[in-house]
């Protein structure tokens, strides 16, 4: 080392030896560049081979929110049923209760990643006015009116007019100040209100399940078709980009022949099992129990439990079938266009929540489509949170559709055999993946990306903003009213959803397989 | 920093060769990490930062929440990796590059430290307890900062002796 010190002290002019030592590591850059380009080319070639083979090049992700200018008159909205779901739907139109704004700003201050309020405020201005509110619980009725007055809204030049409060929906439907209604009541009220709304010429956004009974499905469908009002069923998951991508994957036959679809619900909390909060203000004076149970098949004495936790009884809904199978069926029907199944079998029981309910908390349904050579299996439990996902199984590949889309090649696929053997398709990685929010489609993904996809964990705030699906679904409905077009989740789709869900419910209640008679158009 | 490094005697012979090798290898790693991120239009540090745990988690998460801050951090990260990588390979401003590299790696380490009880959704390729490869690379860069080689083998030799 002392020699080195001496040599540095001399400070000679740059000679050949100096130059060599000074630039000794430069060749490393040459090697790096060569290797880097080799690797890039290898990845590109591999990707291109898969992309062109599968026709993935023209799968495009539309931006979640194409914003047309809001022209024309301001549309006037009425909400019937201002409970938990009703509040969310009205927020989707641009109206939030002051308490919600307060709670969300507090949460955002405590956790900078909580962007609910920001997402709400960045919603598109739908040029709507909330003019009417109807609810059978006084507190919620008042909250609905307070919501209409709240100045904090994504709607520019929001009207400061107070919404009118209605105890009875018939009065609301008679109002000339209402162009369209959101119906977010318990299921047993869906049909009577929707039919009256259609007859009154009001456009309808109806929460799922479309009705409580099979008969009502026919009645609602007829009423909507005869009236010509714009009807949207509340499956906001239709707006999910992942479903639109999955639809294209199926269309391009990437999965091969599909014979089995498995879709599931796993929840493990009282809230997830409809044991919802009973507000302390609720009592005989503030709750209109008689009106509530008017269309229910069995009349029982005043019950706050039944009023607020109505999903637990067949008198007011159909439990898992109407609440969650309906969403799953809607998703699969959107992706595969299955329509009404030929037969349905169902089983299950009340295995965990022995709280007086009569709907099952563990529920399984098998829907058969012999013409499509396909079975759709739905399995649900409300007492376990294990993630089982939604899987479409083809002979050549398997697709999991959630927030993301993940397609994996089948080891035994004839179609991909050569590519697997040549190493072009790596079975340890997905063949195709779409990551929500990333606005991009990638054919060969890394292990990390694969993991993010399967967890649904992917944040991006650079391209595309975070949008609420409910807002998009409401927007689709309102845009359709203005443009006189058919919304995404229209009445024919609602008919198929309703019949499929009622086939499941009937199979469970009758303890036997039921069949759809396409000639008589009845479940037998 | 320079004072500290001067107190240490300059490496020579095999020591020098191995330190240059270490410098070039780390430079290669930095450069490739930077270029991969540059080449991927969807890359962002958001997911990594959003998962942050430990005492600095608040700072890292607030970056994710602010789109502009995230854009700046992503830009600095990509170009920082590329610049440091090139500098280490070439031996250009070697001491500064080593310290800058050590600082950047320390940030990665602090964002997702492998402490007891901290779990991340992104799987690591090995098993770690407090010490992970980030921490080792951080220490290696400190060694390079205090045993500078770029004035002996590297572009700095030409710059500082001319």
Q: For chain A, list residues whose CB is within 8 angstroms of any CB belonging to chain B.
A: 1, 3-5, 8, 11-12, 14, 18-19, 21-26, 28-29, 32, 36, 40, 111-113, 115, 435, 438-440, 442, 447-448, 451-452, 455, 457-463
Look-up: residue for tokens 């320079």? Answer: B2
Residue A440, min C-alpha distance to chain B (Å): 7
- What element of type H or E holds A78? strand A75-80
Cβ–Cβ < 8 Å for A264, A378: yes
Residue B90, min C-alpha distance to chain A (Å): 6
Cβ contact, residue pair B70, A25, below 8 Å: no
A456 — pLDDT class (breaks 50, 70, 90): very low
Pairing of strands A514-517, A343-349: antiparallel
B4 pLDDT exceeds 60?
Answer: no
Q: Which of A241-250, A359-368, A468-477 has the highest mean pLDDT?
A: A359-368
Residue B137, min C-alpha distance to chain A (Å): 20
Beta bridge partners of residue A322, listed in sequence order: none
Cβ contact, residue pair B121, A25, below 8 Å: no
Cβ–Cβ < 8 Å for B110, B130: no
Beta bridge partners of residue A367, listed in sequence order: A344, A376
State CA B154 to chain mean position distance.
19
Q: How many CB atoms lie within 10 A of CB A499?
A: 24
Residue B35 structure tokens = 């270029």
Identify the CATH number of the domain in which residue A176 sits: 3.40.50.720
Does residue A27 lie in a domain region? Answer: no
A2-11 residue pLDDT tens: 444 544 555 5
- Rounded CA separation B146/B157 (Å): 17
User: Can the peptide bond before residue A209 be classed as cis, meaning omega within 30 degrees of 0?
Assistant: yes
Cβ contact, residue pair B12, A451, below 8 Å: no
The contacts of residue B89 (CB under 8 Å, 6+ apart) are A25, A28, A29, A32, B23, B24, B27, B28, B31
The whole-number pLDDT of residue A466 equals 62
* Residues of B in Cβ contact (< 8 Å) with A461: 44, 46, 64, 67, 70
Cβ contact, residue pair A29, B46, below 8 Å: no
Does residue A50 lie in a domain region? Answer: no
Residue A21, min C-alpha distance to chain B (Å): 5
Cβ contact, residue pair B10, A23, below 8 Å: no
Cβ contact, residue pair A459, B64, below 8 Å: yes
- What element of type H or E holds A363? strand A362-369
Look-up: residue for tokens 């012979």? Answer: B13
Residue A511, min C-alpha distance to chain B (Å): 43
> What average pLDDT does range A303-310 have in this prediction?
98
Shared domain for A326 and A297, answered yes or no, is: yes
Cβ–Cβ < 8 Å for A348, A508: yes
Q: Which residue of B has its CA nearest to A9?
A: B161
- What element of type H or E holds A106? helix A98-110
- Rounded CA separation B12/A6 (Å): 12
Q: Which one, of B162, B161, B101, lies nearest residue B137 by Cα? A: B101
CA distances from B58 to A112, B49, B113 (A): 9, 10, 14
Q: Which residue of A has its CA nearest to B157?
A: A22
Of A22, A435, A447, the CB nearest to B155: A22
Beta bridge partners of residue A398, listed in sequence order: A393, A408
B121 — pLDDT class (breaks 50, 70, 90): low
Of A14, A439, A462, the CB nearest to B162: A14
Shared domain for A223 and A258, answered yes or no, is: no
Residue B76 structure tokens = 């600095």
* Residues of A in Cβ contact (< 8 Å) with B10: 1, 4-5, 8
Residue A37, min C-alpha distance to chain B (Å): 11
A81 — pLDDT class (breaks 50, 70, 90): very high
Shared domain for A187 and A252, answered yes or no, is: no
A458 pLDDT exceeds 70?
Answer: no
Q: How many separate domains does chain A show?
A: 2
The whole-number pLDDT of residue A35 equals 94
The whole-number pLDDT of residue B122 equals 65
Shared domain for A226 and A353, answered yes or no, is: no
Of A3, A32, A113, the CB nearest to B64: A113
| Percent of all residues in chain A with a pLDDT value above 90, rounded to a whole number | 68
Look-up: residue for tokens 């100045």? Answer: A151
* Residues of B in Cβ contact (< 8 Å) with A18: 157-158, 161
Residue B123, min C-alpha distance to chain A (Å): 8
The whole-number pLDDT of residue B7 equals 60
Shared domain for A318 and A219, answered yes or no, is: no
Of B24, B155, B157, the CB nearest to A28: B24
A29 — pLDDT class (breaks 50, 70, 90): very high
Cβ contact, residue pair B89, A32, below 8 Å: yes
Dihedral of alpha carbons A192, A195, A200, A206, sign: positive
Q: Which residue of A has its CA nearest to B22?
A: A25
* Residues of B in Cβ contact (< 8 Å) with A403: none
The contacts of residue A340 (CB under 8 Å, 6+ apart) are A496, A499, A500, A503, A516, A518
A437 — pLDDT class (breaks 50, 70, 90): low
Q: Which one, of A274, A279, A271, lies nearest residue A310 by Cα? A: A274
A438 — pLDDT class (breaks 50, 70, 90): low
Of A12, A21, A457, the CB nearest to B152: A21
A283 pLDDT exceeds 50?
Answer: yes
Of A112, A457, A460, the CB nearest to B65: A112
CA distances from B63 to A109, A334, A520 (A): 14, 38, 61
Shared domain for A191 and A271, answered yes or no, is: no
Residue A433, min C-alpha distance to chain B (Å): 13
* Residues of A in Cβ contact (< 8 Å) with B90: 25-26, 29
The whole-number pLDDT of residue B111 equals 87
B78-100 residue pLDDT tens: 999 999 999 999 999 999 999 99
Cβ–Cβ < 8 Å for A419, A53: yes
| Percent of all residues in chain A with a pLDDT value above 70, rounded to a whole number | 89
* Residues of A in Cβ contact (< 8 Å) with B70: 461-462
Cβ contact, residue pair A451, B121, below 8 Å: yes
Q: Which residue of A has its CA nearest to B155?
A: A22
Shared domain for A232 and A308, answered yes or no, is: no
Q: Which of A12-26, A291-305, A465-479 has the highest mean pLDDT?
A: A291-305
A106-154 residue pLDDT tens: 988 887 777 788 889 988 899 999 999 999 999 999 999 999 999 999 9
- Rounded CA separation A343/A513 (Å): 7
Shared domain for A333 and A440, answered yes or no, is: yes
A376-402 residue pLDDT tens: 999 999 999 888 889 999 999 999 998
Cβ contact, residue pair A5, B9, below 8 Å: yes
Residue B42, min C-alpha distance to chain A (Å): 6
Shared domain for A443 and A294, answered yes or no, is: yes
ipTM, 2 decimals?
Answer: 0.87
Does residue A256 lie in a domain region? Answer: yes
- Rounded CA separation A239/A234 (Å): 11
The whole-number pLDDT of residue A472 equals 86
Cβ contact, residue pair A461, B158, below 8 Å: no
Burial class (CB within 10 angstroms; exposed 0-12, middle 13-18, buried 19+) of A91: buried
A457 — pLDDT class (breaks 50, 70, 90): very low
Does residue A42 lie in a domain region? Answer: no
B60 — pLDDT class (breaks 50, 70, 90): confident
Residue A114, min C-alpha distance to chain B (Å): 8
Average pLDDT over chain A, rounded to an integer: 88
- Rounded CA separation A68/A482 (Å): 11
CA distances from B162 to A17, A22, B27 (A): 14, 11, 25
* Residues of B in Cβ contact (< 8 Å) with A3: 12
Shared domain for A235 and A288, answered yes or no, is: no
The contacts of residue A141 (CB under 8 Å, 6+ apart) are A82, A133, A134, A135, A165, A166, A167
Identify the CATH number of the domain in which residue A402 sits: 3.30.360.10
In three-state secondary structure terms, A94 is: coil
Shared domain for A197 and A321, answered yes or no, is: no
Of the ranges A17-21, A91-95, A361-365, B95-99, which one carries the lowest mean pLDDT score?
A17-21
CA distances from A358 to A311, A362, A367, A413, A506 (A): 10, 12, 23, 45, 14
Shared domain for A483 and A424, answered yes or no, is: no
Cβ–Cβ < 8 Å for A160, A57: no
* Residues of B in Cβ contact (< 8 Å) with A111: 61
The whole-number pLDDT of residue B53 equals 84
The whole-number pLDDT of residue B62 equals 83
Q: How many CB atoms lie within 10 A of CB A53?
A: 17
Burial class (CB within 10 angstroms; exposed 0-12, middle 13-18, buried 19+) of A17: exposed
The whole-number pLDDT of residue A290 equals 97
A248-274 residue pLDDT tens: 999 999 999 999 999 999 989 999 999
- Rounded CA separation B144/A131 (Å): 71
Q: For chain B, list residues whose CB is within 8 angstroms of any CB belonging to chain A.
A: 9-12, 20, 23-24, 27-28, 31-32, 35, 39, 41-42, 44, 46-47, 50, 61-62, 64-67, 70-71, 74, 86, 89-91, 121-123, 151-158, 161-162
* Residues of A in Cβ contact (< 8 Å) with B65: 112-113, 115
Of A22, A112, A461, the CB nearest to B61: A112
Q: Which one, of A202, A199, A72, lies nearest residue A134 by Cα? A: A202
The whole-number pLDDT of residue A70 equals 63
Structural domain span for residue A275: 241-465+505-510
B50 — pLDDT class (breaks 50, 70, 90): confident
The whole-number pLDDT of residue A450 equals 45
> What average pLDDT does range B129-157 have in this prediction?
94
């Amino acid at each position: 080392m002392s020699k080195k010190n001496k040599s540095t002290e001399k400070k000679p002019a740059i000679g050949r030896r100096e130059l060599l030592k000074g630039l000794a590591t430069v060749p490393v850059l040459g090697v790096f560049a060569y290797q880097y380009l080799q690797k890039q080319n290898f990845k590109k070639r591999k990707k291109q081979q898969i992309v062109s083979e599968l026709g993935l090049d023209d799968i495009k992700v539309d931006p979640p929110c194409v914003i047309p200018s809001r022209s024309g008159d301001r549309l006037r909205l009425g909400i019937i049923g201002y409970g938990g779901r009703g509040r969310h739907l009205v927020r989707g139109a641009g109206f939030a209760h002051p308490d919600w704004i307060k709670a969300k700003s507090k949460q955002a201050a405590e956790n900078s990643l909580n962007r609910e309020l920001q997402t709400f405020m960045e919603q598109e201005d739908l040029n709507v006015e909330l003019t009417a509110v109807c609810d059978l619980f006084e507190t919620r009725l008042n909250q609905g009116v307070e919501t209409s007055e709240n100045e904090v809204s994504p709607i520019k030049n929001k009207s400061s007019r107070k919404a009118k409060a209605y105890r009875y929906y018939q009065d609301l439907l008679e109002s000339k100040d209402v162009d369209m209604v959101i119906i977010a009541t318990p299921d047993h009220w869906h049909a009577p209100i929707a039919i009256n709304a259609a007859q009154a010429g009001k456009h309808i956004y109806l929460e799922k399940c479309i009705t409580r009974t099979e008969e009502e499905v026919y009645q609602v469908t007829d009423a909507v078709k005869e009236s010509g009002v714009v009807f949207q069923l509340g499956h906001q998951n239709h707006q999910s980009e992942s479903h639109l991508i999955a639809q294209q994957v199926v269309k391009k036959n990437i999965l091969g022949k599909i014979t089995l679809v498995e879709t599931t619900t796993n929840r493990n909390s009282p809230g997830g099992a409809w044991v919802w909060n009973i507000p302390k203000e609720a009592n005989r004076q503030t709750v209109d129990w008689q009106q509530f149970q008017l269309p229910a098949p069995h009349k029982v004495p005043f019950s706050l439990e039944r009023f607020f936790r109505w999903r637990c009884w067949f008198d007011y809904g159909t439990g898992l079938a109407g609440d969650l199978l309906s969403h799953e069926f809607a998703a699969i029907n959107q992706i595969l266009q299955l329509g009404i199944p030929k037969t349905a079998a169902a089983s299950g029981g009340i295995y965990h929540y022995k709280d007086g309910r009569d709907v099952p908390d563990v529920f399984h349904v098998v829907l058969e489509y012999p013409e499509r050579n396909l079975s759709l299996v739905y399995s649900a439990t409300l007492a376990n949170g294990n993630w089982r996902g939604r899987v479409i199984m083809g002979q050549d590949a398997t697709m999991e559709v959630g927030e993301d889309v993940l397609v994996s090649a089948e080891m035994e696929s004839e179609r991909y055999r050569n590519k697997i053997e040549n190493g072009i398709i790596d079975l340890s990685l997905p063949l195709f993946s779409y990551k929500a929010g990333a606005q991009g489609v990638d054919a060969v993904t890394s292990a990390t990306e694969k993991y993010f996809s399967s967890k649904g964990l992917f944040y991006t705030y650079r391209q595309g903003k975070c949008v609420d699906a409910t807002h998009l679904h409401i927007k689709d409905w309102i845009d359709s009213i203005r443009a006189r077009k058919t919304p995404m989740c229209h009445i024919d789709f609602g008919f198929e959803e309703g019949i499929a869900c009622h086939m499941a419910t009937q199979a469970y209640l009758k303890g036997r397989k039921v069949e759809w008679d396409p000639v008589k158009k009845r479940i037998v | 920093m320079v004072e500290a490094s001067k107190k240490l005697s300059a490496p020579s012979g095999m020591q020098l060769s191995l330190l240059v090798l270490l410098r070039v290898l780390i430079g290669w790693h930095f450069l490739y990490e930077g270029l991969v991120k540059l080449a991927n239009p969807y890359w962002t540090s958001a997911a990594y930062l959003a998962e942050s745990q430990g005492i600095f988690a608040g700072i890292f998460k607030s970056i994710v929440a602010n789109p502009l801050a995230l854009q700046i951090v992503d830009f600095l990260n990509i170009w920082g990796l590329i610049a440091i990588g090139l500098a280490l390979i070439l031996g250009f401003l070697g001491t500064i590059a080593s310290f800058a590299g050590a600082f950047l790696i320390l940030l990665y380490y602090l964002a997702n430290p492998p402490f007891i009880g901290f779990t991340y959704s992104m799987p690591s390729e090995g098993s770690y307890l407090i010490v992970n490869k980030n921490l080792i690379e951080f220490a290696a860069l400190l060694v390079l900062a205090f045993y500078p080689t770029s004035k002996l083998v590297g572009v700095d030799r030409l710059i500082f002796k001319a």
